[in-house]
């Protein structure tokens, strides 16, 4: 699935493709039960190329690995949810446990929606930093490289973002009560 644009294809073969063996080994060591490593790598390639169309990727290797990590986690989550267990193999107590988990899941979904609104309310640079650092799990140094800013700027933006999100949560709680 090489890119059609020659410049994009050159960038891809120079900055992304050489990392495939290391990425494959890393994925196999981190997610040994995953049987979809090839699919995850292909999806990661697609996402990296799509991101490159709209912005500059300053650290292609870090971005590739982070993207593959997130795709693997998403795959594991969806695999756990979609597993089907025949009812006769499950015990009645597990059905009761599911009933108690439903409100917790609904509450978690609501909290995630509130968090999403809080992050979306942040100024653009702060939102980028918080998303890369807190959501995608990139280190502050990786975020600084990715965005082309200093590590102290990233640190300041993380502090500002967390403070503004905390304020958002307080205001939201007051509105709900």
**In contact, 161 and 77? CB cutoff 8 Å:** no
Write out pLDDT tens, residues 22-42: 888 888 877 776 678 888 889
Name the CA dihedral angle for 124, 3, 15, 76, rounded to a multiple of 10 degrees.
70
- 12-19 long-range contacts, Cβ below 8 Å, gap at least 24? 12/45, 12/48, 12/49, 15/60, 15/61, 16/45, 16/48, 16/60, 16/61, 16/64, 19/60, 19/61, 19/64, 19/65
Residue 174 above 90 pLDDT?
Answer: no
Structure tokens at 50: 């799509």
Confidence of residue 157 (pLDDT cuts 50, 70, 90): very high
Tell me the pTM: 0.46
Cα(115)–Cα(165) distance, rounded to whole angstroms?
8
Write down the pLDDT at residue 63: 87
Write out pLDDT tens, residues 35-93: 788 888 899 998 888 888 878 888 888 888 888 888 888 877 766 544 444 444 444 44
Write out pLDDT tens, residues 87-116: 444 444 444 444 445 566 666 677 778 888
Domains of the chain, first to last: 1-83 (1.10.1740), 103-177 (1.10.10.10)
């Amino acid at each position: 699935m090489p890119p059609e644009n020659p410049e994009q294809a050159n960038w891809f073969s120079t900055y992304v493709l050489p990392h495939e063996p290391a990425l494959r080994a890393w994925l196999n060591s981190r997610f040994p039960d995953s049987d979809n490593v090839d699919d995850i790598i292909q999806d990661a390639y697609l996402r990296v190329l799509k991101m490159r169309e709209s912005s500059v990727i300053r650290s292609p290797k870090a971005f590739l690995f982070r993207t593959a990590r997130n795709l693997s986690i998403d795959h594991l989550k969806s695999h756990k949810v979609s597993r089907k267990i025949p009812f006769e193999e499950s015990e009645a107590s597990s059905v009761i446990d599911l009933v108690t988990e439903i409100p917790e899941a609904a509450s978690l979904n609501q909290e995630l929606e509130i968090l999403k609104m809080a992050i979306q309310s942040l100024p653009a640079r702060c939102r980028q930093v918080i998303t890369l650092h807190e959501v995608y799990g990139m280190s502050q140094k990786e975020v600084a490289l990715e965005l082309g800013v200093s590590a102290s700027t990233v640190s300041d933006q993380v502090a500002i973002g967390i403070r503004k999100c905390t304020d958002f949560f307080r205001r939201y709680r007051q509105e709900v009560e």
